[in-house]
Amino acid sequence: MSKDNNAKELIHELYNYLIKRSNTSTSLLDITDVLLQVYTKIETVDNPEALVNRLVNYIYSVGFKGRINLTPAEERLLTELGVIGQKAGLNGLYKADFSDKSQFYSYFDNNKMPRR
């Protein structure tokens, strides 16, 4: 199994946990939007580890700001994604706003960035 598929499975599982929550805040909806976007893009990007690294940083940043508490199962999935993201090395680190949802969407994407 490739690391892309493993990351894709983890993203899918985390998305399924979060989307089932009854209390949906704007922060939680933003996180699920980004999870879905990364899920669709991960097999087509040149450096999937860097994308996963940005995803993990985004979830921690927005989750902290939005006071989203993760269950132990959700935290485990995010930790496993973090391990995959660590393989990006220095390519995953850059001076950007980790809470900026637009970093996962390009102008040419078929999926338009949802505004919440």
Give 60-72 pLDDT, tens digit per residue: 999 999 999 999 9
Task: Evaluate whether 13 touches 44 at the Cβ level (below 8 Å).
Answer: no
Task: Evaluate whether 65 touches 26 at the Cβ level (below 8 Å).
Answer: no
* Higher per-residue pLDDT: 112 or 59: 59
Mean pLDDT of the chain: 84
DSSP state letter for 45: S
What's the one-letter identity of residue 24? T
* Higher per-residue pLDDT: 93 or 31: 31
pLDDT at 1: 39
Residues across the chain: 116
CA distances (Å), origin 112, targets 9, 57, 72, 105? 23, 22, 32, 7
pLDDT at 81: 96
Of the chain, the percentage scoring pLDDT greater than 90 comes to: 62
Q: What share of the chain is helix, strand, coil (3-state, %, to 5)?
A: 65, 0, 35
Q: By mean pLDDT, which of 2-11, 79-88, 93-102 is the weakest? A: 93-102
pLDDT at 103: 75
Domains of the chain: 3-104 (1.20.1440.50)
Residue with the two structure tokens 């660590």: 86
* pLDDT above 80 (res 98): no
Q: What is the pTM of this model?
A: 0.81
Residue with the two structure tokens 């706003």: 97
